[in-house]
Each structure stands twice: as structure tokens, then as C-alpha cells.
Amino acid sequence: MPSQRHRVLVLLLSLAGVVPVSAQGPRVLPAGELPKDSRLGPPRSVDGYHPFRPVSSATAWESRAAEIKNHILVGTGLWPLPEKTPLNAVVHGLIDQGDYTVEKVYFESMPGHLVCGSLYRPKGKPPGPNGYPGVLCPHGHWANGRFYDAGEAKAKADIATGAERFLNAGRSPLQARCVQLARMGCVVFHYDMLGNADSKQFPDHRNGPRESMNGREPGSWGFVGFEAAARVQSNFGLQTWNSVRSLDFLLGLGGIDPDRILVTGASGGGTQTMMISAIDPRVKAAFPCVMVSTSMQGGCTCENTFYLRVGQGNIDIAAAVAPRPQGMTAADDWTKELKTKGYPDLVGLYDMLGAKNAYEAHFEIQFAHNYNHVNRTHMYQFVNRHFKLGLPSPVLEEDFALLSPQQLTVFDAEHPSPSGNAVGEPHEKSLCKWWSDDAERQMAPLLNPQTAGDADKASNVLGTAVRTMIGRGLPDAKEVNFGLKGKEKRAGYVELTGLVGNDTHGEEIPASFLFPEQWKGRVVIWASPEGKAGLFESGTQPRAAVANLLAAGVAVMSADLFQQGEFLNPGATVTENPQLSYPGKAEKPDDRWKLSPVYYYGYNDSLFARRVHDLLTLVSFVKNNEMYQVKEIALVGQGSAGAWVAAARALAGDAVALAAVDTAGFRFDKLASEWDADFQPGIVKYGDIGGLLTLSSPHSLWLWDAEEALQNQIRAAYAARGKPGLLTVAPAAPGDREAALLDYLKQ
């Protein structure tokens, strides 16, 4: 005879077949009153306030730093790192400047995509015991990038204010930085950002949504559109990968000391400095200028991507370098409050990590946005001290011979510039295709694991991605509370209504909890596209399947997840995520970059993620409720809610004994746009719904309405862990499901 657990599963199955049509459920709040939920406020934006999130100990910082790094890696499409294909580097055109040389460089960061730059080397200075220090210099938002020339008038004005000492340095503070570092004994690589100087394979530095680049077939999309967002592909991701490969190039030159590697840049170059320094431990010191701030986080699409600043900001990202040496500067721009907002947090962090003397900041807010002589001098002292160069202090610049764009360009008759399909939209599409193909190749063995080792790797790679994208795990018991609003005695059960709260995040979830008189210790948390109304026929009358569960001694709980039911005004529906754009109207074609989805998804959780958060909060509430000794929790997801449950199952661990997931043919890749209510950036890259379900192993999973390919994929995951019996795949026909489940239970 089937056990009580078996009866519960049979009843769950019968409930799963019910699709509510016109259900209504009991209200928790008075009509017209919305939950007091922080998520109902305005979304976070690039120009908001982004304070540091402190931690209590050095041990806690290890976890926090890993979390920050994962946000960057996943958001840039670099988790796991793409294949490092041959650089095919070309170094030519040496220019001898007496005490240093300049060479022209280009190499392939991805097949067919060139990173171009200038290589400065010291001349006449011996290397250290392990080679010369190496420096990466991303340039930032100065006109024409590496070829920037401010002109004599601007240079003279800067000399008059004390911002510069020499005319040539005032005309090109970018060249001045590289020259002085070379004279100090460093090998310096100064490389182009996309769309600047020689990097004309991208004619524009930043692009917005374009119909011609929003295809749905491989090779038909570019960096802004549905398929790119579904795979976290962006020009920011490519730029960050260019920085990783630039470090590969620099260290591959030979004669470079791997323990003395610095990255320094200002403005957008400061952003790149923070990113590459956070994600790549080969960087031993960082000096980002006029970018680290609790205020504006970086306006360009080259400074924004998915997930990058969800729950964190530039202070946190810069802090990820700790305890490695780091310096920074502020100016009369969005960084002008650094001394009181951000700097004290970083000082406290470095002190806590026992690296008090490894951090410094300079507040030259008498100057506008810059990397001028005053701030460069701060950086030279930093390099001299931390790389133990032994130079007399202060280290001051000397004049140098300014090189023209014609002298610096890497292209000439013998080294022709890319053309044809290697430039513009065809090139952008080809990069997105290569990137997608590379990710599919890496994901294939993880989504179809054959061994326990494959399954463990899948848990690491896919699990890290899902935790980062959803942004939460199971809340601690102390974070969750319940406010009882109503209690009614019904026939054979008690109906409780109330608000399940998450104190840490300021969230309230209207919930219904049906508690049977003869409770057996099991609770079903039921997620429906209709919210808690999915449990009821009309008014407070439970649906027949729910009543059967209650009669079997199973408690049933459901809730209005975010933007369901009581989160909405009467008659309102939510079908899309907010389409937040960069401040200012995008009236001209050149301004369409402001419409990039990174300006919403880079700062805010998706609606999909928020509903998963609510499910995790409900699980924690049920699991840790002191009034009831819960023996077992089951999660059930019907229709589109099946995907929410699949994600919650992947994150809930042992707190959930069984997840019953109705895939209903749902695929993230079938959604109409990147703004759809169920859209989750990057989820297609990590296997779509199948990737989420793969992470269910080795926990019990009941899967129905899944096509054969998906069934086989999930079977492989369970077989690889030696737990095939924990997976049940029901027939697609609703009438056959109960019999199939009974057959399974008789085994």
C-alpha cells in the first residue's frame, strides 16, 4: 500500500494538472493597499547612490570579494573564460626616443578581432631580478583615445593652473603617463578601447538597439538585442576580454616580472582598471583615477553590463582588489565626495585585512575630470614605493617628444587596416557567433554530464552562474518573519493569511497558508501564474485537488510573488520588466545607446529573479517556523511558474525535499523580447530551463510536460551522480500522469 509520502505525490500530480481559469483568493491587505515592499520603489540607476556594503571580518570579505568578482565575470560573459585562442601578435615599427622606445602592436583577442596599441619599453635601464615591471594603460574617454591631442591652447591653460608642467604632456597626458613609466623602468602597453584610434573594426564606440543587429539565428545578432542579452554579450564584455588578453600579451613578451604588474587609467580607463584588477589575480597593483565613486557609476555602454552593479557599486568593485596595493584619485566631478563617501570604507577594509599601507587616495578636487600631472605624480610615487624601484622621491616628469597619430598608428602599407566583413556590423555579428559557439562548446559537457566529475563541474560553473544571476540563496531564519493578518476555521483545516517578510531586503509577500487539522508534517509551496489565487475555485473555496491534499494531512501554502495579485492595483497586469534607459532622451540615432538593457539589468534584479527570491523566502519561512515542526517541503510550479520553481530548487539545497516542475514547453529563448517578464539575462548561455533543472540533481525532481531531449538531458545529470531514482519523468498526456507516478511509487 502506498505510504503517506506516496499519497502526497499522487495528489501533487493531480494538482499539477489543474490550470486555474477564474480563481480568486482571500486578500491579506485591505483593498487598495499595497505591500510595504522596497521593490515597489523606483529602480536603481547609474546616477543613483551606490554605497559600499561592509563586512564584519576578513573571512567574510573572502566570500564578498568572490561575489563581486562573479558579478563581473558573469555580467561580462566571461564565466567561464572563453578559449584563449592564439594572439598572433605583431610588433613592429620601433621608434627610438633615446631613453625609451615605442613600438606598434596588434593582436587577436578573439579570432579576427584586433586589439591595437603602443608598447613603451625602457632603454638603458637594467631589469630587476625577475624582469621589468609591467603596466597596462587603458585610456578612457578622451577624444580619439590613444591619439588624443588636447591642443596647445588647452595645454597652456592647464600649465597656468598647475595641472601640467610641459606643453607636450598637456597636449597628451596619455602619452606622458606611458613615457614617464618607461623612463622609470617599466614596460607599458597602452591599448585602444573599442571604436577609438586604430580600433575601427567597431566604427562607433557605443551602439544601441538596432533592428539590423537583433536577429534570432546564430550569426545574425550584435551586442545589443535579445540574443546578446540572453547570452550576456556586450561591448563592455569584449572590452574587458581585450584587457585580459592585453595582460596575456604583456606577460608573454618575456622579461616581465609577474609580481610587479600594474593597471592604471582614468575615466573609462579607470573603469577598465577596476574590472581587470578585480577579476584577474595577475594584476598586483591598481590605480584607477576619477572613477571610483558612490555617485555616477560610468555612463557609457563600455562601462555597463548585466549584473555588474546589482547589490554593489564602484566602491565595492574597487575594493575587490584588496589587500593588493591600490591608489585612486578624485576630481571636481562625480568623484568629488570620495573623501567622505567611499574612502573611509576602503581605509577600514584595508585595515581589517592587515594591509593598512597598501591603500591610498588623493583628493585633487580643484581640478575637473582628469589624469593630469598632479595625479600622475601621485601614481608615480605609488609605483616607485610598491614596486621598489628605488628612485629619488618625488618622481617628476620630464619633457618628451610628442608622437603624432601618423607615427603611432599600427597600420601601414605592410600592415593594412581591416576592411570588408572584418569591420562594422558583419564583424560584430561574427564575434557574437564565435562567442556563442565557444560558450556552447564549454557548456555541452556540463549540461549532459557523463561522470560524477562532470556533474561536480556543472554544479560549480552552472551553480555559480545561477547564484550570481538570481543574486540570492536561501535566507537565514533571522532574516524572515511572518505577520499574521487573518485566521479562519474551515471544514477540516485552518486558513491563515499574512505577510511573509524579508527584513534584510525590506520585502513583504502576501501569503495564504492552509493548515489541515490532521497535519502530517509536510508542506507544499505552490507557485502559480495567478499567485495565491491559484489555490482557490472562488472566494475562499479551495480547488478539489487542494482539498484532497488537505484531507491527506498536507499543508498547502501559496503567495502573491512580486508583481502578482496584491502587488498590483485592480485590473493591472505586468508583462514586462521596466525599460529603464540612460538619463536623457535618445532622440537621435547616435543616442540610441541610451536604450541598452544594461542600464536596467546592470543595476536591478529582473522580475523573474525577484519571484525566485520570494519562493526562497517562503521556503526559509516554512523551514524555520518555530510553531510547526516541518518534516518535508515540496515546491510545485505550474505553467510559467515552473521555471521560477526550477531556479528556486537550484538554490534551495536540502531545504526542499521535492520539486515538481511543469516545463509546459517553456524556454527562455522563445520569449519575445529582452523585456519580457520572464526574461533573465544570460540564462540561455547556461542551458536555459535545462540548465536550471540540471542543478536539481541529486535532489528529488518530478518533471512533466518535457520533450524527449530535455528528459534525456536531466536523466544524464541524475545518472552521472548515481541517483537516477530521484528523477521521475511523467508522460506528457495529463491522463497518464497519475498512473505513471503510481508505477514509479510501486518500484
Rounded Cα distance between 398 and 660, Å, is 71
Q: Which of 432, 70, 429, 83 is nearest to 231 (CA)?
A: 432
On the CB side of 276, CA atoms within 13 Å amount to 34
* Summary mean pLDDT of the chain: 92
CATH 3.40.50.1820 in the chain: give the residue spans: 4-33+472-737, 58-195+232-410
553 and 560 Cβ atoms separated by less than 8 Å? no
Rounded Cα distance between 235 and 302, Å, is 6
Average pLDDT, integer, range 234-250: 98
Average pLDDT, integer, range 569-585: 89
Contact partners, residue 597, CB within 8 Å, separation at least 6: 224, 229, 306, 579, 674, 675, 681
Specify the amino acid at residue 163.
A
In the DSSP assignment, the letter for residue 146 is: G
What is each CA distance from 626 to 119, 319, 333, 451, 631, in whole angstroms?
65, 39, 52, 40, 13
715 and 724 Cβ atoms separated by less than 8 Å? yes
Q: What is the predicted pLDDT for the residue at 17? A: 40
Rounded Cα distance between 459 and 466, Å, is 10
Q: What is the pLDDT of residues 342-368, one digit of tens each?
A: 999 999 999 999 999 999 999 999 999
Q: Name 512's bridge partners.
A: 497, 558
Task: Tell me the pLDDT band of 706, cut-offs 50, 70 and 90.
Answer: confident
Rounded Cα distance between 516 and 556, Å, is 9
Rounded Cα distance between 431 and 223, Å, is 9
Rounded Cα distance between 373 and 380, Å, is 10
Three-state SS string over 32-94 comes to CCCCCCHHHCCCCCCCCCCCCCCCCCHHHHHHHHHHHHHHHHHHCCCCCCCCCCCCCCEEEEE
State the DSSP string of 674-699.
Answer: TTBTT--TTTTTTTHHHHHHHTTTTS
Q: What is the predicted pLDDT for the residue at 152? A: 98
Neighbours of 576 (CB within 10 A): 14
Q: Name 435's bridge partners.
A: none
Would you say residue 9 has pLDDT above 90? Answer: no
Specify the amino acid at residue 15.
L
Parallel/antiparallel/unpaired status of strands 480-490 and 493-502: antiparallel
Lowest mean pLDDT among 23-37, 234-248, 302-316, 325-339: 23-37
Would you say residue 544 has pLDDT above 90? Answer: no
Lowest mean pLDDT among 280-284, 542-546, 715-719, 743-747: 743-747
Task: Tell me the pLDDT band of 695, cut-offs 50, 70 and 90.
Answer: very high
Q: What 3-state DSSP class applies to 124?
A: coil
The per-residue b/e assignment along 294-328, b for 16 or more CB within 10 angstroms, e otherwise, is: bbbbbbbbbbbbbbbbbbbbbbbbbbbbbbbbbbb
Q: What is the pLDDT of residues 186-225, one digit of tens each?
A: 999 999 999 999 999 999 899 889 999 999 999 999 999 9
Would you say residue 24 has pLDDT above 60? Answer: no
Would you say residue 5 has pLDDT above 70? Answer: no
Rounded Cα distance between 645 and 16, Å, is 13
Task: Tell me the pLDDT band of 732, cut-offs 50, 70 and 90.
Answer: low
Rounded Cα distance between 469 and 483, Å, is 30
Place of cell 501569503: 511
Q: What 3-state DSSP class applies to 162?
A: coil
Contact partners, residue 412, CB within 8 Å, separation at least 6: 93
Average pLDDT, integer, range 662-680: 94
Q: Say what the pTM is.
A: 0.95
Q: What is the predicted pLDDT for the residue at 733? A: 64
588, with CB counted inside 10 A (0-12, 13-18, 19+), is: exposed
Would you say residue 485 has pLDDT above 50? Answer: yes
3-state helix, strand, coil in the chain (%, to 5): 40, 20, 45
Rounded Cα distance between 209 and 221, Å, is 10
Helix (H) or strand (E) holding 118: strand 113-122
189 and 105 Cβ atoms separated by less than 8 Å? yes
Rounded Cα distance between 196 and 140, Å, is 10
Q: Name 486's bridge partners.
A: 497
Average pLDDT, integer, range 30-43: 95
List the end-to-end C-alpha distance of the chain, in Å, as a whole number. 12
Specify the amino acid at residue 714.
I
Would you say residue 181 has pLDDT above 90? Answer: yes
Q: Which CATH number fits domain 4-33+472-737: 3.40.720.10, 2.30.30.760, 2.60.40.1840, 3.40.50.1820?
A: 3.40.50.1820
Distance of CA 622 to the CA centre of its chain: 30
Q: Which of 247, 277, 268, 262 is nearest to 195 (CA)?
A: 268
Three-state SS string over 578-601 comes to CCCCCCCCCCCHHHHHHHCCHHHH
Strand segments (E) across 440-594? 480-490, 493-502, 507-516, 522-527, 536-538, 541-542, 554-559
Helix (H) or strand (E) holding 334: none
Would you say residue 719 has pLDDT above 70? Answer: yes
Average pLDDT, integer, range 271-293: 98
Grid coordinates standing for 160? 597656468
74 and 307 Cβ atoms separated by less than 8 Å? yes
Average pLDDT, integer, range 680-707: 93
Q: What number does CATH give the domain 58-195+232-410? A: 3.40.50.1820
Q: Which of 175, 281, 193 is nearest to 239 (CA)?
A: 193
